[in-house]
Amino acid sequence: MTKGFIGSYTKKDGKGIYQFNLDEDKGVIETLETGYEINASTYLAQYEDMLIAITKNDERAGLATFKINDEGVLEKTGEALESFKGSGCYVSVSPDGQYVFEAVYGDGIARIYELDAQNHQIKKLIKEVYHEYDHGPNVDRQEQSHVHYMDVTPEQKYVVAVDLGADLLVTYHYGKKGLEVAHRTSLEPGDGPRHIEYHQNGQYAYVVNELSNTVVVMAYEDGRFNAIERHLTIPEDFLHPTKLAAVHLSKDQKYLYISNRGHDSIAIFKVLDNGRHLELVDIVSTQGEFPRDFNISESDRYLVVAHQEGDSRVSVFERDIENGTLTLRDQSQVAPEGVCVQFIK
């Protein structure tokens, strides 16, 4: 069995963190159950046998930490609810296990924490940086800075904060003293950048834009990004409200997948020229409402989609390794308000 977790909102029926078992021989999720009831666990990150989840209570926001035991069950080890303002939307861990990064959408905050991985706990919040950049032209979504992603660059020298409200990628030096701006990269006005996925060669980044429903291939070097080409992730004739969500590369780096909420689909792109170019293969319905996140199994054979809205059925697609296409295999399980999918590594 392949084990994984799904994080959720807890505004309606969501319980927090779900755990599931994917039978890759049958292509079905055999079991899906509540792994740990916790408030607003909208994004999860792993480091070795540790799971970190965004959470909040009535007064404070921050992170909860867990140990993943040998059976894949969560054992809570602590909380770091150190801020009075701003619940996160994305969390990641530096590859050396020393730091945790949290992106706070609503208040436009970039956070860095010191991690005690050995004891499965966060030592302290090192610094909060408030983004106060000129905002983009979208009056509904870009009234101020909104940090939607923070993660390290391929060479692990920097961490990049993606600011949806300001159409910016902000590259930071990071360490025990906190965060220091190294570079800034502007995107097209109104793009609303959301996440980044890097090619394993470290030379190219795929920046996905929530508001323009586009993916931009960018050359990456030493903290700087330069646009090469851009592609729509929805059909050109689709005129209804929709916004881009998650992005993931297949493990073999041959295909890029991007989810669209509203069009309720996943766009499939073939990766060409060692990562420099993309070519649209297909746009496939996820058979559910509002596919905020998905992920690809370590075997590269299956793609699992969580749906935030509707009946929140979890869609399991089998991947064709050769041509990247997706075939729906299972929708037997439900994860209410599911918004983050992570396989246990």
Supply the DSSP string of 282-304, one letter for each residue.
EEEE-SSB---EEEE-TTSSEEE
pLDDT at 37: 97
How many CB atoms neighbour CB 329 within 10 A? 16
Average of pLDDT values for 96-105? 97
pLDDT tens profile 261-302? 999 999 999 999 999 999 999 999 999 999 999 999 999 999
Strand order of the β-sheet with 90-93 is 90-93, 99-104, 109-116, 121-130
Residue 104 CA to residue 40 CA, distance in Å, equals 13
The 3-state DSSP class for residue 119 equals: helix
Maximum Cα–Cα distance across the chain: 53
**For residue 140, with 0-12 CB atoms within 10 Å meaning exposed, 13-18 middle and 19 or more buried, which class applies?**
exposed
**What's this model's pTM, rounded to 2 decimal places?**
0.97
Beta strands in 107-192 (DSSP E): 109-116, 121-130, 147-152, 158-163, 168-175, 178-186
Residue 104 CA to residue 158 CA, distance in Å, equals 18
pLDDT at 84: 66
22-58 burial string, b = 16+ CB within 10 Å, else e? Answer: beeeebbbeebeebbebbbbbbbbbbebbbbbbbbee
Residue 323 CA to residue 128 CA, distance in Å, equals 44
Residue 154 CA to residue 181 CA, distance in Å, equals 17
pLDDT at 85: 72
Average of pLDDT values for 14-33? 97
pLDDT band at 58 (very low <50, low <70, confident <90, very high): confident
pLDDT at 195: 98
pLDDT at 309: 97
